[in-house]
Structure 1
Amino acid sequence: MTSDARNPRACILGTGRALPAAQERAAPSDAPPADGAPSQASAGPERRRAADGETTSDLAARAARAALDAAGLGPRDLGMIILATSSGDAPMPATAVYVQQKLGAELIPSFDLSASLTGFLYGLSVANQFVTAGTLRHVLVIGADLLSRRLDPRDRAAAALFGDGAGAVVVGPAAGDGRGILSVSLRADGNKADVLQVPGGGSAEPLTQERLADLRHALRVNHAELRRAVEERLGGQALAALVAAGLTPADLDWVIPHHADAHLAGLLAEHLGCPRQRVLGALDGGNAAGASAGSVAMALDEGLRDGRIQPGHRVLLCALGGGLTWGSAVVRV
C-alpha cells in the first residue's frame, strides 16, 4: 500500500468502456472440449468478437475517450498512458503509442504492460504510485484485449470464456474526502507459467510453418489448473487487499472479479462471505465478464453508469491470469 487507506492520495476520476462495434459470435466447434475444460453448457455464452479491421487500439482509444469525458479532461491533460494487453496491434511498437496517436495526446510516455488478465490491476498500481508521489497528475490506465484472434478453435471452453473489449480509467489526485484507491495487492508465480500462455511467436519459439500448423501462436489453457489457481489464490489475495485497506468483507458494497466463469465467481463470493447479488461482471450476465484485461474496468464503468455503484461505495477489484499473475485492489469511488 502506497498511501494511508483512510486518506488516499490518488483516485479514479473517470471510467469508460468499449465493446466491438458489431456483436459477432464465434462459430461453434464440433471438436471435443479441451482436457480439463468445463462443458459448453457450464462455460456460459460465447463472448463478443471484434469485426475484421477492428484493432485493440481502436477499442482502447474509444474506452479512453469515454473515461476522459467522465473525468472532465482532455487528452492533453494526461501525463502518461498505460495499456495492459496481451493482444496488441503488433509485436512492435507498443500498442499504447497508437492509442496516444488516436487520442491526440501530447508527447507523453505511453507503454504496454504485459500481465495477462491481471494487467489492468498492475497498471492501476503503477498509476497510483506516480500520482501518489506527485510525479504525475493524470494517468490513463487501459485494459484491452482481442483474445478472439488468439483462440484455438478446438478449445470450446476458451471460446466461451474469452472475448474482446476495453475498459479505461483516469487516475488523478484524490479530493481528501476519503474516496480513492485504498490498496493494491499483487502477486505472480512463474512456476505456473504454462497454465495460460501463447507459446509461439517469441524468441523461444519463433514462428515457422510447422509451428503455425500446430497453432503454437494460439492461446493454450490448462483449464483444470486455472480453475484450481482461482480457487486457491484469488480469495486469499482479496482478503489481503482488504486488510491493507483496513476493511473487512462486510464493509464492501461490490466485488468485481475478472473471471468469466460464474461458478468460480460464486466461489469467490462465498469465500468472502459476500452475497452473490453484490458481485458484478461474471454473475450478472454482462459482456464485460470475458473481456480479459479489460473486464474489471469495463464492469466498474458499467456499474457506475447504470447507477448500481454509487459515490462512496467501496469496491473490490480482483483478477487472475497468465504468469500466473493475480491481484486485488480496493477503491472507494
Structure 2
Amino acid sequence: MTTSDQNFSQPSSSPSSTPAAPLYSRVIGTGSFLPPKRLSNVELAAQLAADGVETSDEWIVERTGIRARHFAEAGATASDLALPAALAAIEAAGIAASEIDLIIVATSTPDMIFPSTACLLQQKLGIAGGAAFDVQAVCSGFVYALTVADAMIRTGSARKALVVGAEVFSRILDFKDRTTCVLFGDGAGAVVLSASETPGILATELHADGRHSGILCVPGSVSGGRVTGDPLLKMDGQAVFKLAVGVLEKVARSVLDKAGRSDAEIDWLIPHQANIRIMHGTAKKLKLPLDKLIVTVDQHGNTSAASIPLALDVAVRDGRIKPGDTVMLEGVGGGFTWGAVLLDL
C-alpha cells in the first residue's frame, strides 16, 4: 500500500517538560499490507470444486459478505507480512524505527513456536533493546495488544509502541470444509502508539470466557517432533454468531460509559471483519448508520487479528477517518475472547 500523507502526531515536548510517567497514548501512524495473491470467490470455488467441495460466489456473499481474500505465498510468514505494515505505520508517524521501544504482535499464526513473532519483526526492523512479545487472543488479538500497549505507555514503561496484527490463516484452513475455508484471508495491519499529554485512547475493556473454547479453535499442538491433535481450524458458526452480537454491543457501551461518551459521538465503528451480518447487527444495536461502519471484509475476508488495523489503515488512507475523529474498535475471537477500544485520532 502507498505511504499515507496522514500524520496524527502531536507537537513533541522538550526533554525538560516531558512528564516522568505519560498520562495518555495516541495513535500517530497506521500501516497495512496484503499479500499480492488475491483470490475471488469465483476463483476459490473453482479450486475447491477440483477437490470435490461445492460452493459458489452467491453462497459465500449471501452468508458472509465476502467477495475476495488474499493468500500469502508459500514460505511467507506472519513477520514477513508484518514488516511492510510496520514500516508504513512508522513512516506515517514521521519517526525513525529506532524510536520504537515496544513491539507487540497479535497473531494466532506465529512464525514458529519461539521466539515470538515480535522478536523476529524487531530483528527485521533492525532495532533492539525494547520489549517485544506476542499476544494470542485470535480475532480479538489487536484489541488486546493495543490495550496492553496503552497501559505500558501510561505507566511510563514505553514511549513509542508498534502494535501489529499479522496472520497467515491460509496455513491452518481445512479446504474440505466449505463452512470455514471460504471465510479467512492473510494480511497485516499496524499502528504506532505514542506517549502524549493529550488523550488519544480514551477507554478499553477486555473479556474472555474459556467455557466456550471449543466453538472456535485449532485443537492441535507439537509433541515429540510431531503434530498431535488436529492442526486445522474448527468453528461452530452459529454459536460464534450468537455470542458475538451480544458481547460486542455490551462491551462497546461499557467502554463508552468509561469514557463519558455516547454512541452518538462515535464517528466510525471498526469491528473485527468477520461477517457482514454481525457487523451490521452491531452497528444497529449502537444506533449507528451503516455509513459510519468501516467495511473491508468484502475484499479481505476475515484476517483475524489483522482485520481491525487493516480496516483502520484503509479508512485513514482513503480520507474517511481524519484527525480528531472518534473511533470505536471492537473484536471477538476464539477463547472465547472479546474487547473494545475507544480512541480519538
TM-score, with normalisation over the residues of structure 2?
A: 0.85
Shift of 1:260: 2.6
Correspondence for 1:3: none
1:141 to 163, 185, 200: 163
**Alignment partner of 1:125 is 2:147:** yes
Shift of 1:282: 4.8
Aligned partners of 2:182, 2:222: CA distance in 1, in Å?
A: 26
User: SS state of the match for residue 28, structure 1?
Assistant: helix
2:303 to 291, 315, 324: 291
Q: Quick one: structure 1 residues 45 and 20, their matched pair in 2 at CA, closer, same or farther if it must change by over 3 Å? A: same
1:197 to 217, 241, 256: 217
Aligned partners of 2:322, 2:99: CA distance in 1, in Å?
A: 26
CA RMSD of aligned residues (A): 2.2
What letter is aligned with 1:296?
A: I
2:111 to 76, 89, 111: 89
1:305 to 310, 317, 320: 317
Q: Is the contact made by 1:254 and 1:314 (CA closer than 8 Å) also made in structure 2?
A: yes
Q: Quick one: structure 1 residues 311 and 63, their matched pair in 2 at CA, closer, same or farther if it must change by over 3 Å? A: same
**Alignment partner of 1:23 is 2:38:** yes
Q: How many residues align?
A: 313
Shift of 1:8: 6.4
1:47 to 63, 69, 75: 69
User: SS state of the match for residue 207, structure 1?
Assistant: strand
Give runs of aligned pairs for residues 253-272 of structure 1, distance below 5 A.
Answer: 253-272=267-286
Correspondence for 1:4: none
Deviation digits for residues 133-161 of structure 1 (CA, Å, limit 9, x no counterpart): 12211111100101011001122232232
User: SS state of the match for residue 32, structure 2?
Assistant: strand
Correspondence for 1:317: 329
Give runs of aligned pairs for residues 163-174 of structure 1, distance below 5 A.
Answer: 163-174=185-196
Correspondence for 1:230: 244
1:111 to 109, 133, 156: 133
Aligned partners of 2:253, 2:163: CA distance in 1, in Å?
A: 24
User: SS state of the match for residue 120, structure 2?
Assistant: helix
TM-score, with normalisation over the residues of structure 1?
A: 0.88
Q: Is the contact made by 1:265 and 1:282 (CA closer than 8 Å) also made in structure 2?
A: no
Correspondence for 1:219: 233
Which structure has greater strand proportion?
Answer: 2
Shift of 1:175: 4.4
Aligned partners of 1:152, 1:8: CA distance in 2, in Å?
A: 46
Correspondence for 2:287: 273
User: SS state of the match for residue 40, structure 1?
Assistant: helix
Q: Is the contact made by 2:141 and 2:165 (CA closer than 8 Å) also made in structure 1?
A: yes
Q: Quick one: structure 1 residues 266 and 124, their matched pair in 2 at CA, closer, same or farther if it must change by over 3 Å? A: same
Where do 5+ consecutive residues of structure 1 fail to align?
A: 1-6
1:249 to 251, 263, 268: 263
1:240 to 251, 254, 258: 254
Instruction: State the identity %.
Output: 37
User: SS state of the match for residue 111, structure 2?
Assistant: coil
Aligned partners of 1:137, 1:263: CA distance in 2, in Å?
A: 38
